[in-house]
Amino acid sequence: MVVLENISKCYRTRRGDVYALRDVNLRIEKGEFIVLSGPSGSGKTTLLMTIAAMLRPSSGRVCIGESDIYAMAISERARFRAGNIGFVFQMFHLVPYLNIVENVLLAGRLSGRNASKAAAEDLLRQLGLGERTGHKPAELSAGEKQRAAIARALFNRPQIILADEPTGNLDPDNASAVLGHLAEFHGNGGTVIVATHGPGAQEFASHTIRLRDGAIEGTE
């Protein structure tokens, strides 16, 4: 359901061109749990953002289901992203001046879904944040922030969740809680792609894709 054909990405900088992805071909089936591994600088973040409809590749095609996502107009792509893709960042990326229920509701608003505050609160409760819904991100621990970010990613009932080193700033207990929530989403039929260089996520993986220097080095 996710197909990448001949994807290359070159960042043009004042210091010259940086080739972050080199002719990547990839097919990810619905319901897989993919771990994307590789050393720092190998292209994991670039690849995730390309799949997430957030970063146009320099060449190649990305199809999600029937949709050729970079052939869409920008507004159509934004709507597609909000309705189909959840993204979890290493550094949480919560909106600092909104409390966490408002952060979650913002995701709903971007998708054009008529979402209730009660639904957002209920989801936060399921993630163990029922007592925290009125708190701003700065008032939460790192583990709580990441669970709030997962709530935001889950809120629109996406088909795919992409997570970029989601446990990189968490202690082991919070890391396994976060991976547990991703595994639960996967258990309910969702597709998960996690970039990581740590071992924790491997136990859930249906496949591991290894990147090196912007190319797929191996799949197992």
Please say which residue, 126 or 208, places its beta carbon nearer to ligand ADP: 208
Stretch that binds ligand ADP, among 35-43, 96-104, 143-151, 171-179 (CB under 6 A): 35-43
**Cβ 108 to Mg ion, closest distance in Å?**
27
Least distance from Mg ion to the Cβ atom of residue 217, Å: 16
3-state secondary structure of 158: coil
Judged by beta carbon, residue 45 or residue 191, the one nearer ligand ADP is: 45
- Residue 198 binding ligand ADP, by CB under 6 A: no
Minimum Å distance from CB 24 to ligand ADP?
12
Give the residue, chosen from 35, 37, 45, 216, that forms a contact with ligand ADP under the rule CB under 6 A: 45
11 is an interface residue for ligand ADP by CB under 6 A: yes
State the burial class of residue 61 (Cβ atoms within 10 Å of its Cβ: 0-12, 13-18, 19+).
middle
Question: Using CB under 6 A, which of 41, 168, 198, 200 touches ligand ADP?
Answer: 41
Q: Rounded to 5 degrees, what are φ and ψ at 212?
A: -150, 130
Is residue 37 a contact point for ligand ADP (CB under 6 A)? no
Contact map string, positions 13 to 32, toward ligand ADP, x by CB under 6 A: x----x-x------------
Residue 138 phi/psi, 5-degree rounding, is: -65, -20
Q: Which residue has the tokens 């996690």?
A: 194
Question: What is the chain's percent helix, strand, coil content, to nearest 5?
Answer: 35, 30, 35
CA distance 67 to 47: 18
Closer of 100 and 163 to Mg ion (Cβ): 163
Work out whether 45 is an interface residue with Mg ion (CB under 5 A).
Answer: yes
Buried b (16+ CB within 10 A) or exposed e, 126-162: ebebeebbebbbeebeebbbbbbbbbbbbbbebbbbb
Nearest residue to 178 (alpha-carbon basis) of 147, 141, 137, 202? 147
> CA torsion sign, 96 to 192 to 66 to 69?
positive
Size of the site for ligand ADP (CB under 6 A): 12
Residues that bind Mg ion (CB under 5 A): 44-45
Residues that bind ligand ADP (CB under 6 A): 11, 13, 18, 20, 38, 40-46
